[in-house]
Chains A and B, each alone.
Chain A
Amino acid sequence: MLRYLTILLVCQLVGETIVTGFSLPVPGPVLGMALLFLGLVVRRGGSPGLDDFSRGLLQHLGLLFVPAGVGVVLHLRLLAEAWLPIAGALLFGTGLTIVVTGWLMQRLARPPLPNPSGEGGR
């Protein structure tokens, strides 16, 4: 487990270093994700251990947003003052974005390939 956490942290660190060094407009962890993805493509897959560890971490992705979310407490007054434009933009803007993106992808993508592993799907 420690080994896989190390792999993830190394990718993140390399990502952060490149982003800072070249003043790139993406967050370090996102570049780290791209690096790990490239590594997996080159090596034709990781180890079952890395798979399990990553899936375990992602299963609780929601938890990791809680501390930032509690930051809402700092802005309760601001939210109360400009609630109408804020609520409107957040509700309808987000809804519209979901429908437009989903519709475009469904329209443009070829039908999904049959999935030999038989996971998920519909």
Chain B
Amino acid sequence: MTDDLYRIWVYLSASPLLALTATLVAYQGGLWLYEKSGRRPVVNPVLIAVGLLVGLLLVTETRYGDYFEGAQFVHFMLGPATVALAVPLYGQLRALRGSVMATVVAIVLGSLTAILSALGIAWALGGSLQTVISLAPKSVTTPIAMALSDRLGGLASLTAVAVIITGMVGAIAGGWLLDRFGITDQRARGLAIGVAAHGIGTARAFQVNETTGAFAGLAMGLNALATTLFFAAAIAWFG
């Protein structure tokens, strides 16, 4: 009996089907809980799915690389989904026209805030130089953040984790924070979430409202550019 189970397990874990299905099922579970909770932001479906899958990998002693073999099909769709952000953004063309300068200034200063606050806080709390550098690009999307961290002597893999956690923090706490500070303009709310919490924040913003989502997507793209330029300047400055 155990032998049979083991044989089935060996067979399944060699194909992408298992990891792919587990990812979808975990996310569906997250969505179900989110709906059940009355759509409370704390019950974030991404966080729940990640938690379930991390638990599953630890219990079954599955290597992350083996899991990713299957899950990469979901991961791949991030590229076309990023391109697709152009569609809701075009829908906001009218809203965008009156506020181009404001948008650019808010994103650039927001980007600088993200980098400097991460540097300052991590340093003040006793982080090593490597940790501090690894955390600095946490608000931009994963591939860029990892490349920037690596170039400045950070730990790219720690950066990847920081980026994901940052996204979840922004998605969960963003709406509440913006409410507390009386920021009600949907464009401002979208930009704030997109600059601070990249794609995971943008995903959350789309759950709330199309305008917020469109501005979050825009902010995510422009913040990637702004952060890269800030890092390039820092590298040129310090050698």
- Which residues of A pack against B, CB within 8 Å? 5, 8-9, 11-12, 15, 25-30, 32-37, 39-41, 45-46, 50-51, 53-55, 57-75, 78-79, 82, 84-86, 88-106, 108-113, 115, 119-122
Give the chain B neighbours of A113 by CB distance below 8 A.
Answer: 94-95, 98
Interface SS, B side:
helix
30 A-B Cβ contacts within 8 A?
A: A5-B80, A12-B80, A25-B144, A27-B144, A29-B78, A35-B86, A50-B87, A63-B27, A64-B81, A65-B164, A65-B203, A66-B46, A66-B50, A68-B164, A73-B57, A86-B127, A88-B122, A89-B117, A89-B127, A92-B117, A96-B113, A98-B177, A98-B195, A100-B113, A106-B185, A108-B101, A108-B102, A109-B185, A110-B98, A115-B94
A40 vs chain B, min Cβ distance (A): 4
Interface SS, A side:
helix
Interface extent on B, as a size class?
35 or more
A69 in contact with B219 given A84-B125, A97-B196 (CB within 8 Å): no
Are A97 and B195 in contact (CB-based, < 8 A)? yes
Residue of chain B at shortest CB distance from A111: B185
A82 vs chain B, min Cβ distance (A): 5
B96 vs chain A, min Cβ distance (A): 10
Give the chain A neighbours of B91 by CB distance below 8 A.
Answer: 51
| A65–B24 CA distance with the chains assembled, in angstroms | 12
A33 vs chain B, min Cβ distance (A): 5
Partner of B169, one of A60, A94, A105: A94
| A80–B189 CA distance with the chains assembled, in angstroms | 33
Are A101 and B110 in contact (CB-based, < 8 A)? yes
| A37–B161 CA distance with the chains assembled, in angstroms | 31
Are A86 and B122 in contact (CB-based, < 8 A)? yes
Question: Contacting chain A: which of B3-11, B35-43, B65-73?
Answer: B65-73
| A8–B78 CA distance with the chains assembled, in angstroms | 11
A37 in contact with B88 given A25-B225, A61-B202, A112-B95 (CB within 8 Å): no
Q: Chain B CB within 10 Å — which of A28, A91, A99 has the most?
A: A99
Residue of chain B at shortest CB distance from A72: B161
Partner of B192, one of A36, A55, A102: A102
Give the chain A neighbours of B107 by CB distance below 8 A.
Answer: 101
Give the chain B neighbours of A120 by CB distance below 8 A.
Answer: 186, 209-212
Give the chain A neighbours of B122 by CB distance below 8 A.
Answer: 85-86, 88-89
| A109–B32 CA distance with the chains assembled, in angstroms | 37
Give the chain A neighbours of B195 by CB distance below 8 A.
Answer: 97-98, 101
Are B118 and A26 in contact (CB-based, < 8 A)? no
Are B188 and A71 in contact (CB-based, < 8 A)? no
| Residue B154 is within 8 A (CB to CB) of chain A in the complex | no
B24 vs chain A, min Cβ distance (A): 7
Give the chain A neighbours of B224 by CB distance below 8 A.
Answer: 26-27, 30
Are B50 and A69 in contact (CB-based, < 8 A)? yes
Are A88 and B125 in contact (CB-based, < 8 A)? yes
| B106-140 interface bits toward A, Cβ cutoff 8 Å, 1 = contact, 0 = none | 11011001100111011111111001100100110
| Residue B33 is within 8 A (CB to CB) of chain A in the complex | no
Give the chain A neighbours of B84 by CB distance below 8 A.
Answer: 8, 33, 36, 53-54, 57-58
Give the chain B neighbours of A36 by CB distance below 8 A.
Answer: 83-84, 86-87
| Residue B15 is within 8 A (CB to CB) of chain A in the complex | no
